[in-house]
Chains A and B, each alone.
Chain A
Amino acid sequence: MHEAAIVESALELILAKAEEHHLTKIKRITAKVGELSGALPDAMQFVFQNASQGTIAEGSDFIIEQVEATASCGSCDITFPIRFYHPVCPSCGGLDNQVLTGYELYIDTMEGD
């Protein structure tokens, strides 16, 4: 389960950021996780609840916002959602499309005292 490694990295990042801003308690964290990022939100949530115990992030709301996967077709000049990982242009059927979103895996915001 690579979500464990991902969440441990996230937690490291969050705690460092909290220290930088002199927070003593973290209350809320939002993460953006793309559909194509290879990380499952449920698994991340589960790991976070365990890994944050004993840290100032324990008990905080860990909010995972999933980002839809989209791509654009250069020939048709349109943007479309990617279904089942196949970036097929719905208009021309072309395969060579630019993936725009879906690979996000980052901490967006955090709140605390």
Chain B
Amino acid sequence: MSSIKVVTNILKVNDELTQQNKKLMNEKGLYVINLMSSPGSGKTSILEKVIAKLKDEVKIAVIEGDLYTTKDAERIEAHGVQVVQINTEGGCHLDGQMIRNALSHLNLDGTNLLIIENVGNLICPASFELGEDLIITVLSTTEGNDKPQKYPRMFEKSGIVILNKVDLVPYTNFNKDEFHKDIQEINPKAKIIETSCVTGQGIDELCSLLKEKISISNPV
């Protein structure tokens, strides 16, 4: 019997692919956002608002992850930006191989911002790095304010946490004070932005913050 010391990261294959993807993204001068949330939080709606507002100033491409459908990709495409759809066919997250395939279908010359819309799920996508510069997690007020405590990993890794559907707070039992306190404890560095796609609240703030981050990472 032989005994072998292995000590190798289980996600090595994903990490290596992600490193290669990251290199390509850097060469193209891309600022990369990994956008995560649970299903139905409204992240595609936020993305549409952001694209509509930024697309004249920033050249945007989108990778759209979805379990089976192309609905979200069609919504994004209607705004006239490049979009590639990845169907995970039941897979609960995007990984390095999927991103590599998607990148090969995009013409990234002159593109400044790549937004990867991950599969709607608060647990699994947090385990797989995609070479992103920024993680944005969206939570909506109808989901309850206990989600950050229940699924802290994603919130812990986020640079921006968006609380969406704030216009619905009066009709829910969502406790905003507890939410802010929990995020502060899990991830004191996260910037929290409250948004509503109905009233437009927070969208300008989000867009200014993104523009600032893109220009810092990629000075003209």
Contacts and interface: CB of A to CB of B under 8 A. Distances in A.
Contact of A111 (B2, B153, B188): B2
Given A1-B92, A111-B1, A112-B1, A106 B124 contact: no
Interface residues of A, number: 33
Main secondary structure of the interface of A (DSSP, over half): mixed
A13 B179 CA distance: 40
Contacts of B12: 9, 13
B126 interface: yes
Contacts of A110: 3-4, 6
Contact of B95 (A5, A38, A96): A5
Nearest to A13: B8
A108 B7 contact: yes
Interface footprint category on B: 20 to 34
Main secondary structure of the interface of B (DSSP, over half): mixed
B123 A2 contact: yes
A2 B124 contact: yes
A37 interface: yes
A85 B184 CA distance: 12
B186 A86 contact: yes
B14 interface: yes
A21 B93 contact: no
Contacts of B184: 95
B127 A38 contact: yes
B218 interface: no
Given A2-B93, A86-B186, A112-B1, A17 B127 contact: no
Given A37-B127, A39-B127, A10 B10 contact: yes
Interface of B: 1-14, 91-93, 95, 123-124, 126-128, 149, 152-153, 156, 184-186, 188
Interface of A: 1-2, 5-6, 9-10, 12-14, 17, 21, 23, 27, 31, 36-39, 84-86, 88, 95-96, 105-113
19 contacts: A2-B92, A2-B124, A5-B91, A9-B11, A13-B10, A14-B6, A38-B126, A38-B127, A84-B152, A85-B152, A95-B184, A96-B188, A106-B6, A106-B7, A107-B7, A109-B6, A110-B3, A111-B2, A111-B3
